[in-house]
A and B are shown apart, each in its own frame.
Chain A
Amino acid sequence: MNKAKRSDKIATWVIYLLVALVVLILAGILGNILITGVPHLSWHFLTSEASSYQAGGGVRDQLFNSIYLLILTTIISLPIALGAAIYLAEYAKDNWLTNLIRTTIEILSSLPSIVVGLFGYLLFVVQFGFGFSIISGALALTFFNLPILTSNIEQAINGVPQAQREAGLALGLSNWKTIRGIVLPAALPGILTGLILSAGRIFGEAAALIYTAGQSGSTVDYSNWNPFSPTSFLNVMRPAETLAVHIWKVNTEGIISDATIVSAATSALLVIVVIIFNLAARYLGNKLYQKLTAAK
């Protein structure tokens, strides 16, 4: 009995120690990123062009490209993921075909993002001749994003009580009308949370982009609102380097002398944005949930 008690004590200590280490590691990572990065996050850094050779460049274009890609990817992937999730949650029967479909989606989610990126390169950049472009990048990110977004939305839809569907059907509404008018609004908090969390992933993703959206930007004119003009910031056929790709590039090429400072600041920016996304997802999810279920 004494031995058992002693090993119980030791185990408890070991577990506490390992947990403390993990917390310390996270604190170290966050602390390091924020302490080395935030001091360089000046207005100048956010609003000036990146420099290719000397120190002192900013990330204006990269920041815009990241946001633009995020928006485009969301616009493309949301309807597909929504449709697929509705199919899986509402229409799929419990049979071999559904199993096969689920396996397919799982495979897509387990593919390394570099493989997804290379497929995008092969199909869009080379085969379709889009070249390194925002649209190639957005499509590759869509592939990367679809499986997770689909399963998040499916979970949100499954969370809506069956009684709500029955209520709609019993009134003579079609399944589709019931889903669209009753189930989806009720699942909105969950869907939104899933969407924002996936946005965080998209924002930080680089491997799927280096061979699709490219590793360099072109000269961009922010006053040119014609999306078909090659210099317009809205043009989807122009190559575009994002924040995450920028960090990778300045570190592996090592041309600019202040690579570490630029990377630290960009990393801090990325991490802050991702944290904001995380908090927003939680806040909005709770808020909407309360609003939908509140008795007022």
Chain B
Amino acid sequence: METTTKASYLATFKPDEVALATEDLSVLYGGKVQKLFDASLQFKKNTITALIGASGSGKSTFLRSLNRMNDRVAKINGKIMFHDLDVNQPNINVYELRKNIGMVFQRPNPFPKSIRENITYALKANGQTDKQQLEQIVEESLRAAALWDEVKDKLDKSALALSGGQQQRLCIARALAVKPEILLLDEPASALDPVSTSKLEDTLKQLRLEYTMIMVTHNMQQASRISDYTAFFHLGHVIEYNTTADIFTNPKGQLTEEYIQGSFG
């Protein structure tokens, strides 16, 4: 067991290339169940990193810990370094942190409000009241999420009237509107049909120019299509972390190889 869960390779980067890094991150649920063991990963700026692994491998747990969404249910030990600051500390303002590290969830979860309000709601709560400025951000973020052309004539219609794929892109636009540096994506395409999925992937690929993205996915093809780096999780341990090309074509660890072959086969 010792040997198999040991990391076979972990990619590292120059300090000024790193957008976010964890050091020995562990997650304990209910004070008993450990879901994650000492994960140390660095995420490179302006890349998409895919987190892969079987269900229960701890990848989602890891992702949700990065912007402190797991605080209420779990005990999280270790460091999360963001701009030379350990943001896994009690004195950190989690609200400000989450404005810098946005998140998109597995199932599209737009608010039961209009498309426009979905985007402006958080902005208004942050004190932005200038109407023109809000309009501008609405259009910018919808364009960035490649949704503008589809919804520009119905901004005041309910967001719930959109298709699943559109809703998910709206959720991305909503997250972008807060102008985060990093975007966490928790299986963003798992509830979508193939056409919507490929649209979403195109969107993500374009967003890479401006944002750093970390994405949990069950879909190996998806990981290989759009991610630059891939981390493989197994039973709460990070087994291997490397460029996506290397992980898929030249895995160093045996577990990684077995998983990837099994998943594609």
Contact = CB atoms under 8 A, between A and B. Distances in A.
A28 interface: no
B117 to A, nearest CB: 10
Contact of B175 (A170, A182, A186): A170
A78 interface: no
B105 A163 contact: yes
B68 to A, nearest CB: 9
Given A171-B174, A173-B125, A296 B99 contact: no
A44 interface: no
A185 B105 CA distance: 21
Nearest to B160: A295
A170 B103 contact: yes
B111 A182 contact: yes
Interface string B87-122: 000000001111100111101011110000000011
Interface in A93-131: none
Contacts of A181: 121, 125
Contacts of A164: 109, 111
Given A167-B105, A181-B125, A294-B160, A172 B111 contact: no
Nearest to B93: A172
The interface size bin for chain A is 20 to 34
B178 A171 contact: yes
Contacts of A170: 67, 69, 98, 102-105, 175
Interface residues of B, number: 28
A161 interface: yes
Interface in A266-296: 292-296
Given A171-B122, A171-B178, A294 B102 contact: no
Which of A167, A181, A182 is the most central at the interface, judged by chain B CB atoms within 10 Å of its CB? A167
A174 B97 CA distance: 12
Given A164-B111, A177-B125, A185-B112, A171 B158 contact: no
Given A177-B125, A294-B158, A296-B161, A171 B69 contact: no
Given A170-B98, A171-B122, A163 B109 contact: yes
B112 A293 contact: yes
B158 A295 contact: yes
Nearest to A292: B112
A172 B175 CA distance: 10
Nearest to A171: B122
A163 B174 CA distance: 15
Interface centre among B110, B125, B158 (most CB of A within 10 A): B125
A169 interface: yes
Contacts of A185: 112
B107 to A, nearest CB: 6
A296 B175 CA distance: 24
Contacts of B110: 167
A294 B112 CA distance: 9
Nearest to A164: B109
Contact of B178 (A172, A182, A293): A172
Contacts of A168: 111, 122
Given A172-B96, A172-B98, A294-B158, A166 B111 contact: no
15 contacts: A164-B109, A164-B111, A166-B109, A167-B110, A171-B98, A171-B175, A172-B96, A172-B99, A172-B178, A173-B125, A181-B121, A181-B125, A294-B158, A295-B160, A296-B158
Given A173-B95, A295-B161, 5 more contacts: A167-B109, A170-B67, A172-B122, A174-B95, A296-B158
The 6 closest A-B pairs by CB, nearest first: A172-B99, A170-B103, A163-B109, A171-B122, A172-B98, A295-B161
